[in-house]
Structure 1
Amino acid sequence: MEPTGEMTAASPGPSYDTDRVWTLPNVLSMLRLAGVPLLLWLVLGPHADVIAVLVLIVAGFTDWLDGFLARRWNQRSRLGQMLDPVADRFYILATLIGLAVREIIPWWLVIILVARDVVIALLVPILETRGYSSLPVHFLGKAATFNLLYAFPLVLLGAGDSTFAMAARVLGWAFAIWGTGLYWWAGCLYIRQTYTLVRTLPRVERHPQHRLEAR
């Protein structure tokens, strides 16, 4: 897979080491996903912002750790490939909703970011006609996710009048602006890749074999 995310008809499918469900990397991914409702409750319930940010930090660490262990122990799995990007999206969405409900960020920003994921979801039926279920991750998608995962914890910590809060707010919004731009840029590349696949590959009547998640 090229780092630019370009894809041709000869693109190979992903390699998996195992179809097992109960591996340590998968358990870490499941635990990370289970932390999403806890995060939303912390933000909307007791407004325990510092603890909510700690949850996000732990989630980010386990995101790195499960990928590292999966590669190191040859435990890459189909489930793991699915859970990682899903967990990232749910953490971003939960943080967005929490911040919007508390009027820390505007709802139009939530709509812009959610709309991008809706557009990507609408590409799936088209991709499946060419034997794909989703698109290759490339560096723009990863960079966008990185920016957004850092942006909103900082914006959350910036909900105050102290010097630290002001600095966190400025830095958080900088990450948010860059992350939103990159998120849609990556989305446009996925649209172009889908168009290329439709033009270059014949229609297939089988279950998708190429299962890669676009971030």
Structure 2
Amino acid sequence: MFITKISRLCNIPRNISLITQRKINNLPHQLPLTTRLLNPCIGSVISWNKQDCNSVTIKVNYSSNITQESPPLDAATFENICEETLDHLTEYFEELVELEPNLKDADISYSSGVLTVSLGDSGTYVINKQSPNKQIWLSSPTSGPKRFDFDTKQQYWVYSHTGVSLHALLQEELPKIFTSVKDIDFSRCCYSKL
């Protein structure tokens, strides 16, 4: 009951950062006097102070890394942007593998919108387009699965839950695998933002 009431507070625009305070009546008596929990919708902290047996004041700090909504892509534009993005990533991964002597068994393949980067003991990255959702999906052996939307205003792929770009995530993870390669720079790829 209490969590349901909190979840209604989560429907806010993405570009807002605010603190709000609400009083909710008729809460269960077993709540502690002061309690904190993570808000699952955007990870902000919710705290409440029990004032009496029937009501409590809630403080919610909302924030988001996404600055504004991006206009939708049409199907043809999405396909072209995906193709360019995946082609550039394929070329850059091939270049990195050639420069890394510790990854002789690495394999890079790109076909039908799916880029597979097998890095031996370091795991396999799969980056693929999802045309129905107009997204690029990443499966990373380090950070797990992510779904990236294209920001048409800023021209890059962004994970909407954190605001991190596809290329920035790769830039963060891959130097730990390509240890012999100096100056890994995914900003060289098209539609990147670090």
TM-score, length basis structure 1: 0.25
Using CA pairs under 8 Å that are at least 6 residues apart, name the structure with larger relative contact order, 1 or 2.
1
More helix by share: 1
TM-score, length basis structure 2: 0.27
